[in-house]
Structure 1
């Protein structure tokens, strides 16, 4: 005679209370560990940042608009570089030489999508009255000059003052990296994949590139963004290369293979944070926001351009003032950018 079952009692299953408690304890422990790692990583990264730029000392600042504006600067600092390192990176100079800016970009992050705008270092601008970064005293205006002369004369605070004065755009945050930090980040990544539309050579920067897809190591990447003698006319071709490389670098850093791999993440982050000079209000969250915005630019979800140029004055690039005013108005209102750069 077949065995008798009550209705559906063959499928009834009561999980062990002990097993349920073990699962809950495991999940809670995992959550706590992830939380502690995340908080620890945040404070580790924050402690690495060199918060040396006090934007609160910049005078006569324009009113803040919508969104966030970062001034991103690449300097030719050779501080701490050995003679062999300077030779390998084709930087020349000496660690004691005065610093200049090799690249300057404004990154606007807002509801209208990110916009990356290069400011050529030989732009013809007015260096206005400013507060000296060391003396704290108000200094007389220096008048018409190259944009990078402001940094060479009194560092980041005067550069921010000059950019704000000539654009009318409020700069919320500042980020600067030197030659060594730039090359070290690329090497920590294991190189950066680039697709070059054309090849070029420049004995001054050490550039020697063929067209096509290739992986650039730190020295090659530095040569790529510094090259200017290979291009005829002005600094504008170089600024386009700088935009292309930095947005590509950001897109390859901000990937799961880097962010979720602790060995790679700490190696890459550590290589850059030690040499990154930022404003006193910068933090890892804002820095991450900046990187992801640059990744969007690389992915085609943002805009990249040179500041509009109308010609030159004494060999320096003259901005197209009506276009610059329109561009700044659109950025301040967090509106889609309609201004284009014809050069």
Structure 2
């Protein structure tokens, strides 16, 4: 009875110490209608705790995070954790902080890490004359920011978020110390004055300020923000491995340290039974958690207001998330024997976006197709690839090269010719300034082949940039 009472007291301390928000979420149950639990994990670049109190300057100095007035409410880490009910696997999908997307709430297209801050700032401005206290304004405006971020991700992925978890800088710092550090590995020595990163090549265990520097560094990395996403993924994989295989969740001492670390640093949606969820997750092995990144295009997309950003193709993101954990559709698997050079492609712009046909045709030429003619066509809402009678293979090849458009037969087309009509829905290769080059470069860094790396899982330690 004493042991049980002590354990219950600890668990109560955990749930009572967490900040809860009543957010606009899809489902509070354990088995949502879409067959998966979708959790939004957010790392906040905030110089305040979860109650809105400024962090002490000595802590900010330790974190090399500037002053209390720096930072703001940018979401520097954004991960969608999807746990299908029927597979026993989990998928952690990262969104680069500079992903250029449509922000919910009517704010237009901007980097995804600004979705929270735009809505929070707008709500705070409206609440100033409401007679509420400064603390009430802070917490209500934070709720508006979280809801806008959730809606932005839901619109981008076409999934409904069931739960939300947010951690700030100091919470991340304390959690890594509480569990004894995370095992990581680097390909080369790194040193960066902006983040404070100073690491040797090879495997190592990091915690506290070193852990924060590891996941925050982007200057000096070959792929900038995209390499930082990989850093975050291998770190989260190491954290999951330790939690799932080393028994942190079921070890009284480690769990108590975790409770102290997360109190005042974590924000959860109201109604999420985090204790029940933790007990469900403890039976999952590290190999059943895979870390991936949403499909992206040009990593140096020039935008009207936000400078350089990462291009995102919405239709590919939705398809990618929908197919997590599923076997590839045979219709989506390219035929390795098909020769793209046997197909001449014409592109017609029916989207109203000037110059789109030319950039899309260029992207197809870089993939081995023969360049045909470009031109304009009457407005279309939906893009389509048309192929000649008996030319299904040619139509499929072009369809796959453009990210999965609809196809249809056109008896008026000659053999060996395919015609693409770009509707207002088109967001594949060639849109938003995408160059379809096989080499990627950022900030003048050395170009590297765009090879698909092996998936990151919580079952081992992979060396990264």
- TM-score tier, shorter chain, comes to 0.7 to 0.9
Larger RCO (CA within 8 A; separation ≥ 6): 1
User: Quick one: distance in 2 between partners of 1:236 and 1:280?
Assistant: 32
Pair 1:51 & 2:25 matched = no
Equivalent position of 2:320 in the other structure: 327
Equivalent position of 2:101 in the other structure: 125
Normalised TM-score (structure 2): 0.57
- In the alignment, is the contact (CA less than 8 A) between 1:77 and 1:95 conserved in 2? no
Structure 1 residues 41-89: Cα deviation after superposition (integer angstroms, max 9, x where no partner): 332321122112512599xxxx951110111010111113222221221
Q: Which ranges of structure 1 fall in alignment gaps of 5 or more residues?
A: 1-31, 130-140
Equivalent position of 2:44 in the other structure: 75
Change (3 A) 1:337 1:303: farther
Normalised TM-score (structure 1): 0.76
Aligned with residue 98 of structure 1, among 41, 62, 72: 72
Change (3 A) 1:186 1:233: closer
User: Quick one: distance in 2 between partners of 1:322 and 1:208?
Assistant: 39
Please say which structure displays the higher CA radius of gyration.
1
Equivalent position of 1:162 in the other structure: 152
| Aligned Cα root-mean-square deviation (Å) | 2.9
- In the alignment, is the contact (CA less than 8 A) between 2:183 and 2:205 conserved in 1? yes
Equivalent position of 2:63 in the other structure: 89
Equivalent position of 1:242 in the other structure: 232
Equivalent position of 2:291 in the other structure: 304
- Please list, as runs of the form range in 1=range in 2, the aligned pairs for 1:1-343 lying within 5 A after superposition: 32-56=1-25, 65-79=34-48, 80-94=54-68, 98-110=72-84, 111-112=86-87, 113-129=89-105, 141-154=106-119, 155-255=145-245, 258-285=248-275, 287-288=277-278, 292=282, 296=285, 299-312=286-299, 313-314=301-302, 315-331=308-324, 335=326, 342=452
Q: What is the aligned residue count?
A: 292
Structure 1 residues 164-187: Cα deviation after superposition (integer angstroms, max 9, x where no partner): 111111111111101101101112
User: Quick one: distance in 2 between partners of 1:337 and 1:103?
Assistant: 29
User: Quick one: distance in 2 between partners of 1:289 and 1:175?
Assistant: 17
User: Quick one: distance in 1 between partners of 2:45 and 2:282?
Assistant: 25
- In the alignment, is the contact (CA less than 8 A) between 1:123 and 1:316 conserved in 2? yes
For residue 289 of structure 1, report the CA deviation from its aligned partner.
5.9
User: Quick one: distance in 2 between partners of 1:319 and 1:286?
Assistant: 35
Q: Which ranges of structure 2 fall in alignment gaps of 5 or more residues?
A: 49-53, 120-144, 303-307, 334-450, 454-465
